[in-house]
Each structure stands twice: as C-alpha cells, then as structure tokens.
Amino acid sequence: MMKKISSLILAFCLMAVLAACSSTSENTTPETADDAAGNPAGIELTSQIEGVFKGFEGDNFVKIEHDGKVETYEIVDEVTGDLDKVKEGDAIAFSTKEVDGKTVLETLRLN
C-alpha cells in the first residue's frame, strides 16, 4: 500500500513539473529588435531605392541622386552594405529609415 501511495505522489510531482515547464515555454515570445529598442513606433523601415552615389558630405552624411533630385542622408548607426567601397558616380540601391522624425541611411549596396 505504501508503494502505491509513493508512486502516486511521484507521478503527481512529475505532472506538476511538466505542466509548469510547458506553460512557461508556451507563453514566452522572442524579443525583437524593436522591443529591445524600447520604442517600436520610433523606427519605420522604407523600401529599397535605386540611385547614384554623389559623395560624402562631412563625416556623417551622404548625397544620393534618385528620382531626378539629390538628397542628403545622415549616417547614424552602422550602415550595412558597401558604404566603405562606394565611389562618386556608382549606381547603388539603398534604404532609409525614420529615427526620431528624421530620415537616415540604413543600407547601401553597389548595383
């Protein structure tokens, strides 16, 4: 009789542990980059744009011609792509994002 009670208690404990583990893993969601930034509404991605690289303006700005006009974009974070290889007159594809109300360069790739 004692063996049956011990087996039932052990089985109950195992079920409790398994139930606790499964409910914890089901309710967790992975943290995204926007969550880590603390303000997901502060950053909005834009689409890829084709243009012509017109050069650097100081240390933190680039000039790019697209849609018939030259625009200047600030470099605020690590820009992915070919920023270290690009030369004036190169055909490029680039993307921007909105950070704190201003448009900044996000990616720049040679075409």
Q: Per-residue confidence at 71, pLDDT binned at 50, 70, 90?
A: very high
Average pLDDT, the chain: 79
Candidates 44, 109, 102; CA nearest to 73 is 102
What was the pLDDT predicted at 4? 73
Nearest to 53 by CA among 26, 81, 13: 81
Looking at residue 27, what is its pLDDT? 46
Per-residue pLDDT band at 5 (split at 50, 70, 90):
confident
The percentage of the chain sitting over the pLDDT mark of 90, rounded to a whole number, equals 46
Model confidence at 28, in pLDDT bands (50, 70, 90)? very low
> What's the whole-number mean pLDDT along residues 91-104?
92
pTM of the entire predicted model = 0.58
What's the alpha-carbon Rg for the chain, to the nearest Å?
27
